[in-house]
Amino acid sequence: MQAELQALENTNTWDLVDHPPDKNLMSCKWVFKVKTYSDGSIERYKARLVARGFTQEYGIDYEETFAPVARLTSLRTLLAIAASKKWFIDQMDVKNAFLNGDLDAEVYMQPPPGYSCPPHKVCRLRKALYGLKQAPRSWFAKFHDTIAQLGFTSSTYDNALFIRRNDHGTVILLLYVDDMIITGDDSNGISELKQFLNLHFEMKDLGSLSYFLGIQILSCDDGLFLSQAKYASDLISRAGLTDCKTESTPLETRAHFTPLDGTPLEDPTLYRQLVGSLIYLTVTRTNIAYVVHLVSQFMCAPRSTHFAAVLRIIIYIKGTIFHGLHYSVDSPLILRAYLDADWGGDPTDRRSVTGFCIFLGDSLISWRSKKQQLVARSSTEAEYRAMADTTSEIVWIRWLLGDLGFPQSSPTDLFCDNRSAIQIAHNDVFHERTKHIEIDCHITRQQVVRGTLHLISISTIDQPANLLTKAHHPGHFRTLVSKLKLVSSLPT
């Protein structure tokens, strides 16, 4: 606590003033957390003073609150590029990052517990204390303006990605709140950036990238290996399944769920916690994306059948705890994508499921398993809608790669196992079964005409995106997992 209070005083976080009677007065609290390393050992005990921002009033002591963070697809794309180009990747952390942000609004707070100050005085905040609604926005604005002084520009397609390119090479910084990754082919530029950051902020240099946002990154001779083994292990312990036998798949082959399956859970809290953790586990575990998308639909009123499905997923994870993504050295930085749709797969509303996966060379960087918003009248329409979603992601990634200095000079191959959907994308046909499809779904046709996409037919059995739209028997499931470049690494 004393270290935190000292940091607050060093940054002139507040002034002690009399409380204006017409101004809102917030309270605050201490939050304590044990910080651990990637292997689970204790790093330090941390105390943080947090403002109770939920008592703020819009238009009085805050207005705009949005602040960007790097997209996880951007993170995976950057790591795939760094692995391919054999770039060194460094990691840094900003200490008390939000305290660097300047406040525009008048914000008043009660003195924190354990802080001695004159009676009847309150804290008028000058800096963006943690817990304030506008704190993330203030910090990002401060960082953006500061790093711009060194010639870095924010990517148009991911505002938390900062790039500087000159005659000496490229330096790229990815920011996720107060955690950052720095890489590029300009070693002197990277050193200059580190010195600059240390000059303007209180930084912690964490050395080579090894653990970021709960993701373990192992650097080896043939590239990078990304896994969430520690995160998965903690999840298994929380579910009380450390001694259970494993399953070969996360979902039974013919499993279907409805809102009225089983009996209602007395307390849905654990269900929601486990599903929330599973959602984050899909950052590197594509093989559970489909079933996690299913169980996440019942967060409002989960029942016993849904909870049993969640436990099966975790049991499957127990047997594949070290599975993760492998990003190869010298992988060609060329995009290719696969898409699939399960027509009317939901037994309740008969909506279809979109599934796609996008590779940068041999590295899987983006995927999705999501229920479509409308009921499709045919399997062709379901695939065509999935094609539109995939196209949108491809276009964005192509723009992002251009910003990073790796533009795609040729059309991106998009593999689909529905020939009729491919024909509709190639031809402006009018048909009774397609005339109702919304205009935005025709983005694929537009990109084909522009030369951005090249549609290719693929057999259903060879379609890796099938893993994201339906359940499979164990043998075929393992085949699809291998096609998605999900591999297992032994613990180190």
Check: CB of residue 412 under 8 Å from CB of residue 454. yes
Is residue 297 domain-resident? Answer: yes
- 304-314 pLDDT, tens digit each: 999 999 999 99
Which amino acid, residue 125? L
Render pLDDT for 13-39 as a digit per residue (tens, 0 to 9). 899 999 888 888 999 999 998 877 767
Total of domains in the chain:
3
Closest to 132 in 3D by CA, of 167, 162, 88, 101? 101
The answer, yes or no, to whether residue 373 has pLDDT greater than 90, is: no
Mean per-residue pLDDT over the chain, rounded: 91
pLDDT at 492 over 50: no
pLDDT band of residue 387 (cuts 50, 70, 90) is: very high
Regarding whether 383 and 449 lie in a shared domain, the answer is yes
pLDDT in tens, 39-83: 777 878 888 889 999 999 898 888 999 999 999 999 999 999 999
Find, among 187, 188, 192, 190, the residue nearest to 173 by Cα: 190
- Among 187, 213, 239, residue at a domain's last position: 213
Question: Domain residues for 232?
Answer: 227-319
User: How far is residue 77's CA from residue 169's CA, in Å, rounded to a whole number?
Assistant: 19
Paired tokens of 147? 């790093």
Q: Are residues 259 and 179 in the same domain?
A: no
Query: Tokens representing 17?
Result: 């003033």
Confidence of residue 430 (pLDDT cuts 50, 70, 90): low
Q: What's the order of all strands across the beta sheet hosting 211-212?
A: 211-212, 215-220, 223-227, 323-328, 486-488
Q: Are residues 276 and 209 in the same domain?
A: no
The pTM of this model reads 0.91
Q: How confident is the model at residue 435 (pLDDT cuts 50, 70, 90)?
A: low
Quick one: average pLDDT of 186-210? 95
What is the Cα–Cα distance from 5 to 100, expressed in whole angstroms?
15
Say if residue 440's pLDDT is above 60.
Answer: yes
Pairing state between β 335-342 and 412-416: parallel
Provide the b/e sequence for 132-158 (b: ≥16 CB within 10 Å). Answer: bbbbbbbbbbbbbebbeebebebbebb
272 shares its domain with 152: no
Q: Average of pLDDT values for 413-438?
A: 80
Report pLDDT for 38: 66
* Residues sharing a CB contact under 8 Å with residue 484, sequence separation 6 or more, in sequence order: 286, 287, 357, 364, 367, 464, 467
Examine the domain organization and report whether 236 and 189 are in the same domain. no
Answer whether residue 336 is part of any domain.
yes
Distances in Å between the Cα of 9 and the Cα atoms of 96, 363, 418, 483 are 12, 46, 64, 54
CATH of the domain at 343: 3.30.420.10
Coil, strand or helix: which one is 371? strand
User: Is 484 a domain residue?
Assistant: no
Q: Quick one: CA dihedral 183, 187, 190, 191, positive or negative?
A: positive
Helix axes 379-404, 72-85, angle to 10 degrees: 60
CA distance 282 to 240: 20
**Triad 186, 191, 194: Cα angle to 5°:** 125
Chosen domain end from 213, 243, 262: 213
Over the stretch 126-172, which tens digit does the pLDDT of each residue have? 999 999 999 999 999 999 999 999 999 999 999 999 999 999 999 99
pLDDT in tens, 231-247: 999 999 999 999 889 99
In angstroms, the CA 178 to CA 160 distance is 11
Contact (CB, 8 A) for 419 and 378: no
Same domain, 388 and 422: yes
Q: Which two tokens stand for residue 248?
A: 């070969």
- Of the candidates 319, 347, 364, which is a domain's last residue? 319
Domain match, 69 and 200 both: yes
Residues 166 and 273 in one domain: no
Q: CA angle at residue 202 from 198 to 205, to 5 degrees?
A: 65
**Based on the domain organization, do 191 and 232 belong to the same domain?**
no
User: In which residue are the tokens 């506008």 written?
Assistant: 134
371, β-bridge pairs: 353
Examine the domain organization and report whether 57 and 191 are in the same domain: yes
362 lies in the same domain as 311: no
Instruction: Name the DSSP letter for residue 102.
Output: B
pLDDT level of residue 434 (50, 70, 90 thresholds): low
For residues 112 and 178, membership in a common domain is answered with: yes
pLDDT digits (tens, 9 = 90+) for 258-313: 999 999 999 999 999 999 999 999 999 999 999 999 999 999 999 999 999 999 99
Q: With CA atoms as reference, report the closest residue to 310 among 321, 299, 300.
A: 299
